[in-house]
Amino acid sequence: MKRAVFPGSFDPITLGHKDIVERGATIFDEVIVGIGNNSEKNYMFSLDQREQFVEECFRDNPKVRVMVYDGLTIDFCKSVGADYLLRGVRNHGDFEFEKAIARTNRELSKIETVFLLTSIQTSFISSSIVREIIRNNGDYKRFVPGCVRV
């Protein structure tokens, strides 16, 4: 079975994330959306809310599973039997950042990272931009799946 982990904080999940997961599910037998839990980070949405948003978003896709994890992503991948990391790349800056992480992960483990380019319709969306729109009472709904509610 080809199993991939799509890791992130998903604070909140965006249409870009959703697109990468759905496209990844056409490549892999299973995609685990791994919601990283970092107690040092100050999230806009609680861990329970983020998990609920993501689960609701993919509830009709049997190839997608949602799990929360602590620690290194490569350790989480080992624990769930995933040989691949799935990552979305929006631009050159994302690629350089993700490339460094992928090389480090490959040095520490045998995990392969698979990059998918974001669709042109979602390439400008980021969780940090969505959080800023929400903080300023803007119309965030066009950038997130319907499962995200403030």
Question: Annotated catalytic sites, by residue?
Answer: 17, 41, 90, 127
Residue 19 to residue 3: CA distance in whole angstroms: 18
> For the sheet containing 30-36, what is the strand order?
64-69, 30-36, 3-8, 84-89, 112-117
Is the Cβ–Cβ distance between 32 and 110 less than 8 Å? no
Predicted model pTM: 0.95
Give residue 39's pLDDT.
76
Q: How confident is the model at residue 40 (pLDDT cuts 50, 70, 90)?
A: confident
Give residue 150's pLDDT.
87
DSSP string for 36-53: E--TTS--SS-HHHHHHH
Task: Provide the mean pLDDT of the chain.
Answer: 96
Higher pLDDT, 39 or 123: 123
Q: How confident is the model at residue 10 (pLDDT cuts 50, 70, 90)?
A: very high
Give residue 55's pLDDT.
98
Give residue 33's pLDDT.
98
Residue 120 to residue 133: CA distance in whole angstroms: 21
What domains appear along the chain, each with residue ranges and CATH number? 3-143 (3.40.50.620)
Give residue 63's pLDDT.
98
- Burial pattern 85-113, b for ≥16 Cβ within 10 A else e, equals bbbbbbeeebeeebeeebeebeeebebeb
Give residue 41's pLDDT.
85
Describe the crossing of helices 92-108 and 73-80 by its angle, rounded to 10 degrees: 60
* pLDDT(149) > 90: no
Pairing of strands 30-36, 3-8: parallel
pLDDT per residue as tens digits for the range 64-123: 999 999 999 999 999 999 999 999 999 999 999 999 999 999 999 999 999 999 999 999
